[in-house]
Amino acid sequence: MENPTLVVLTDRNDLDDQLFGTFSRCHELLRQKPVQAQSREHLKSLLAVASGGVVFTTIHKFFPDEKGAKYPLLSDRRNIVVIADEAHRSQYDFVDGFARHMRDALPRASFIGFTGTPIERTDANTRAVFGDYISIYDIQRAVEDKATVPIYYESRLAKLELKPEEEPGGRVVAKADQW
């Protein structure tokens, strides 16, 4: 990819700050200091480079100033990789939403989505937007890695007793010979 630009995308400021802080402590591994976009204009300047860079931003910076307007092209480079965290929340509106505006801004970029809750509906499908899974990190692996504690589920039935006057809507009882 010839020195790609990585765009780490979140949908909340606190998550953007958290991820930026984590990556900033790893700048030796990245071989460059990541930069956090402070505004739409700052984001535009960060992406107006020939190659390289690790840019942190929120998806909100990809929304045009006026509703219904097209977001401007920021780069038509092929070596931009957008890494969308919490990808199940904001990546589906290709008519007039964040997903459309990001793709207008970066039409040749590659997109990778991270989510713990992929969606498979007609109007919102994580695999349709991002492609097949690269890796699945499920709860079993998280327990094995000690990233979380085991989760135990014990099924129980709760016994309820209602007085006839407390039953919702009353009961309709039909005898078999009434059918």
Tens-place pLDDT, residues 26-45: 878 878 899 999 998 899 89
Rama region for 146: left / alpha / beta (φ>0; ψ in -120 to 50; rest) = left
Degrees to nearest 5, angle at CA 20 with 127 and 9: 30
Q: Note whether 19 and 10 are within 8 A (CB).
A: yes
What pLDDT shows up at residue 96?
A: 60
pTM exceeds 0.75, yes or no: no
Average pLDDT score over residue span 142-146:
93
Q: Dihedral through CA 98, CA 99, CA 104, CA 108, nearest 10?
A: 140
What domains can be seen in the chain, in order of their start residue?
Answer: 5-154 (3.40.50.300)
b/e per residue, 37-72, with b = 16+ CB within 10 A?
beebeebeebbeeeeebbbbbbbebbbeeeeeeebe
Among 132-136, 155-159, 172-176, name the one with the lowest average pLDDT. Answer: 172-176
> Sign of torsion, CA 27 20 127 134?
positive
